[in-house]
Structure 1
Amino acid sequence: MGRVRTIQRSGSRFYIHPDKPEIKHPGVTSVVSMLPKPFLNFWYARMTAELAVDSLAFVEQMAAQDRQGAIDFLKGAARRYTKIRADVGSKAHDLFERMIRGERIGHVHPDLEPYRVQFAAFLKAVNPRLERAEDVAWSDTHGYAGSFDAVVTVWLDEAGEPTPDRSGVPHLLIVDWKTSKDTYADVALQMAAYAHADRIISPDGTAEPMPDFDGAAVLHITPDQWAFKPVHITDEVFGFFLALRKIFDWDRSVSKTVIGRAIAKSAGALVTGTQRRAK
């Protein structure tokens, strides 16, 4: 089996079947993005308003010379913020993978140093054993794929608390690292999709069946603190993901086919002979 490649189409990521390139499955996060998020409209508006108020003199000067440029500057506030946060998140994920693999970490960028400190504290307090990281979960059954952060073994006592000396009972968990402001419920949809996939595909193209997990967890890390939280990945939760998978098909393909060409329509405005001769 070959390596899994990805492409971007209309803002969504698709995973290409390693042996059958005509098969392209949408990514898990693209499917989860079908979940309605009406609060984002208010957030976009607030980001634009805050930028306008905080940069009033600059915006006024820009608008006097380039009105459209000023409009583009303001309407891009949320997009620029999201990109900055995504860049930090990607670099933090790379750092976390290196650390949990035991790689010696030297100096890191000041923006990442707080995350390094918090992740090191997590490793000391929980002492997980890495089983896999950044491999692809692939579902032939339901037609989706996605890269998960890690599969780890943690040892828990009877109360479900980690035993860093590994004296407790081992539990195989699929985990996700989050550097966002908070943890949100849709992470359960994401992780349920990974855990219910058919197989794991490694970077070298080798594949094996998805293991049976004892559970899932999200590690929420901010510059100030960390928290390791269990996540429910039950069949019920997975069922909601599958509903979004169908909505993805509706949004990206089926919806574009349900309205046909007009079989009758207005003739348009009357054009007189005088108007035709004047052309």
Structure 2
Amino acid sequence: MGAVRTIQRGGSRFYLDPDRPEIKLPGVTSVISMLPKPFLMYWAAKLTAELAVDSLPFVAQMAERDRQGAIDYLKGASRRYTKIRADVGSKAHDLFERMIRGERIGRVHPDLESYRELFADFLAKVNPELVRAEDCAWSDTHGYAGSFDAILRVWLDDERRPTPDRSGTAVLLMVDWKTSADTYPEVALQMAAYANADRIIGPDGSTEPMPDVDGAAVLHITPDQWALKPVRIDRDVFDFFLVLRKVFTWDREVSKTVIGRALASSAQALVTGTQRRSR
């Protein structure tokens, strides 16, 4: 038995069953990407326009020497920005996992120092107990998988506020770390999918049932502040995720089978019997 591996196919991430690698399930985030996001087109256009205006002399000089190079430079503005943010997010997630596991953290890159300080403040003010971290949620029932950030036990008072001395009521939460500019509704779909998976697969391939969590929360950390926000993961939310799971199957599989070969088409040049025999 080994760890869960992932592969990329057609721009989507798939998780391979550690015991039967011929079985591959789409990742939760790939399923959620089926949501239409028309605002991204306007965001990318705005980013490209800002880059062109802010670096006009440089772009003009580039265009004189290499017109296609200048076009590619501007065209890649949104992709480069997304990659930079993704790199920072990945490094912050790695840092959070080390800290939540109790690892002593020394010096970090200046880009991560504010995240380290704020996550340490979160740990001090909430004092959660780590139950699981960075394991794979696997749904045999609905056919999806994904890596979740953490399952934490926290203690809340009567007003649902954390009690760092753990004097309140213990609740089990599916928790996600977010370092984006804001928190977006799709996080509810993501966490509902994790919480409703059938089982957890650990790094060594061991498996156990997904525990019944009491709820979910997103820890939103920016370079300036952190906030622990509750997230709905009830049946209604999960049902919306399941709709997207069906849309994923349509987009990646069924849609490729619904158009058949032409029964008739416009007239083509006549091929005589002599021509056919000479081939």
Shorter-chain TM-score bucket reads over 0.9
Corresponding position of 2:128: 128
Task: State the one-letter code of the partner of 1:146.
Answer: G
Matching residue of 1:236: 236
One-letter code aligned to 1:214: D
Give the CA deviation at 1:195.
0.2
Matches within 5 A, 1:110-259: 110-259=110-259
SS of equivalent to 2:3: coil
Deviations 1:64-98 (A, max 9, x none): 11111111100100000000000000000000011
Q: Secondary structure at 2:174's aligned position in 1?
A: strand
Q: How many Å separate the matches in 1 of 2:217 and 2:126?
A: 12
Cα distance between partner residues in 2 of 1:253 and 1:70: 37
Give the SS at the match of 1:86: helix
Q: Distance in 1 between matches of 2:268 and 2:250?
A: 33
Distance apart, 1:49 and its partner CA: 0.3
Q: Secondary structure at the match of 1:111?
A: helix
Report what 2:7 is aligned to: 7
Task: For 1:97 and 1:179, locate their aligned partners in 2 and report how far apart those are by CA, in whole Å.
Answer: 14
Distance in 1 of aligned mates of 2:215 and 2:87: 29
Q: Which amino acid aligns with 1:29?
A: T
Cα distance per residue 1:1-50 (max 9 Å; x no partner): 43211001111100001111111000000000111111111101001100
Runs of 4+ aligned residues of structure 1 deviating over 4 Å after TM superposition are none
Hey, what does 1:29 align to over in structure 2?
A: 29
Q: Distance in 2 between matches of 1:222 and 1:189?
A: 22
Helix, strand or coil for the counterpart of 1:165? coil
Q: Distance in 2 between matches of 1:155 and 1:6?
A: 35
Q: Distance between the aligned counterparts of 1:262 and 1:67, measured in 2?
A: 42
Partners of 2:190 and 2:209 in 1: how far apart? 19
- How much does 1:201 deviate? 0.5
- Deviates further, 181-190 or 66-75: 66-75
DSSP-derived class of the 1:164 partner: coil
Distance 1:74 1:233, change over 3 A: same
The corresponding residue for 1:275 is none
Deviations 1:82-129 (A, max 9, x none): 000000000000000111111110000000001111111111110001
Q: Which residue of 1 aligns with 2:276?
A: none
Identity %: 78
Secondary structure of the equivalent of 1:112?
Answer: helix
> How far apart are the structure 1 equivalents of 2:3 and 2:219?
28
Task: Please give the alpha-carbon distance, in whole angstroms, between the structure 2 residues aligned to 1:269 and 1:165.
Answer: 85
- Partners of 2:220 and 2:268 in 1: how far apart? 60
Distance 2:56 2:265 in 1: 49
Change (3 A) 1:55 1:269: farther
Q: String of CA shifts for 1:212-257, please: whole Å, max 9, x gaps.
A: 0011000000000000000000011000000000000111111111
TM-score, reference length from structure 2:
0.95
1: CA distance, partners of 2:121 / 2:269? 73
**3-state SS of the aligned residue for 2:177?**
strand
Q: Flag structure 2 segments of 5+ consecutive residues without an equivalent.
A: 271-279
| Shift, 1:167, TM fit | 0.5
* 5+ residue gaps, structure 1: 271-279
Cα distance between partner residues in 2 of 1:148 and 1:256: 31
1:90-109 matched pairs, under 5 angstroms: 90-109=90-109
**Structure 2: how far apart are the matches of 1:37 and 1:125?**
36
**Cα offset for 1:269?**
7.6
**Cα offset for 1:267?**
2.5
Once residues 92 and 21 of structure 2 are traced to their aligned partners in structure 1, the CA distance between those partners, rounded to angstroms, is 32
> 1:42 maps to which residue?
42
Corresponding residue SS for 1:34: coil
Measure the CA separation in 2 of the matches of 1:159 and 1:61. Answer: 61
Question: How far apart in 1 are the matches of 2:77 and 2:129?
Answer: 41
Inter-partner Cα distance in structure 2 for 1:119 and 1:83? 23
- Number of residue pairs matched? 271
Question: For 2:262, what is the secondary structure of its paired residue?
Answer: coil
Which amino acid in structure 1 is aligned with residue 140 of structure 2?
D
